Amino acid sequence: MANIVAIVGRPNVGKSTLFNRLTESRSAIVDEISGVTRDRHYGLSEWGGKQFSVIDTGGYISGSDDIFEEEIRKQVQLAVEECDVIIFVVDVNTGITDLDEKVADLLRKSKKKIFVVSNKVDNSERQIYSNEFYSLGLGEVYSISAINGSGTGELLDELTKEFSAPIEKEDDFGVPYFAVIGRPNVGKSSLTNMLLGNERNIVTPIAGTTRDSISTRYKAFGFDFYLVDTAGLRKKAKVNEDLEFYSVMRTVRAIENSDVCIMMIDAQEGIQQQDLSIISLVLKNNKGLVIAVNKWDLIEKNTKTAIEFETALKSKLAPFTDVQVIFTSVLEKQRVLKTLEAALQVYENRKTRIPTHRLNEEMLPIIEAFPPPALKGKYIKIKFCMQLPMHYPAFVFFCNLPQYVKEPYKRFLENKLREKYNFTGVPIKIFMRKK
């Protein structure tokens, strides 16, 4: 189950600083994927062995001062609806403002766990001023300084107590979970409606999470999988929501509850910045990926159009280019089944397990022929490697100086693994450890 934390509050209280602290500054944080532009509003964090997603609502507030209040109201309402835990950030320097009161009023009506965080508390005098925020009536106040990290450990200790353990998908062992994701208006709803619109193809809806994210069983044409709920499958909130923010919230849940993501791209618009951001979410979560270029029937084509489109697309995805691109038209029902076949193949690739003896027989000669470059006059010797027992491909290489092995050589090892074995559509993690 996805654990989602939303950071809310009025502008200039330090929401983005806290977001950066939670998602980048600690050693337990999952690294961003190199080469794919990171969505600055989304992060993946880990504390005490519990992984959770962080959404910074602040980045979605736009416009002049006179419309701040309305924008904040919308973001808070969406956060209340979609998240498991809410961090309400206030500024100890300014105390309680009218906007703080309005946000508190909205939060007070929710049934979510709320953590009031008094930010910019970097000395004992300011610690005393934080007591003012108890008058908001939202419970305990946590004093922190997001810019230097003081107090964040205690906050995270309490915050992660609210997270439940992941729900194992044990209803039907071995049945994959697919999520159809992408920007608004690329054809997600058309594809899911086409797949689920025929009643005989639907078996039983099952509750995927306590937040009513629904996974629907699809059995037809030789396929058997669960389709994870995405934005097009549930009624939207009764608010005039910011579509980008709303789609990101739903996309996070859909990705984290899936095995393979079918990423839909509009053929007429090509791959956009938001597409890259969504793909980065997939890679960060180590999920399988298939790219479906929809509305291909609307494109004027020659014999090279598909090749040129795919080449341009993969150049923007680099270094993660080992992914299948399928040109589809959902309305014309072109290559939809091929897309599902590709997703099933990626699901199998993700489960690939390579025996240790075979891995060493094939990889060590390559490493010996092309060893890591020496650093500071010291030679790096890799003597042994093995695949880790994880739910996605992860490999550990044991050597004498793991700290000297840089990212380019790790990418070299990843490329060799992809040449030897079929990991198309699946992120691979490479770890270096002391032998």
Cα end-to-end distance, the chain, whole Å: 35
Q: How many CB atoms lie within 10 A of CB 361?
A: 10
pLDDT in the model for residue 262: 94
pLDDT in the model for residue 229: 60
- The overall average pLDDT reported for the chain is 81
pLDDT in the model for residue 274: 80
Question: Angle CA(98)–CA(104)–CA(109) in degrees, nearest 5?
Answer: 140
Mark the ranges of the chain whose per-residue pLDDT is less than 50.
1, 25-40, 62, 64, 167-171, 198-213, 231-241
Return the residue matching tokens 């049934």.
Answer: 111
DSSP bridge pairs for 115: 87
Q: Residue 310 belongs to what H/E stretch?
A: helix 305-317
The pLDDT tens digits of the residues spanning 304-324 come to 999 999 999 999 998 899 999
pLDDT in the model for residue 246: 58
Please tell me what DSSP assigns to residue 96: -
User: Omega before 166 cis (within 30°)?
Assistant: no
261 three-class SS: strand
pLDDT in the model for residue 285: 87
pLDDT in the model for residue 219: 84
Full strand arrangement of the beta sheet holding 429-434: 382-387, 394-399, 429-434
Report the relative pairing of strands 85-91 and 177-182 from DSSP bridges.
unpaired
pLDDT in the model for residue 212: 39
- In terms of Cα–Cα distance, which of 67, 144, 133, 126 is closest to 104? 133
Nearest-angstrom CA–CA distance, 172 and 45: 29
| pTM exceeding the 0.85 threshold for the entire prediction | no
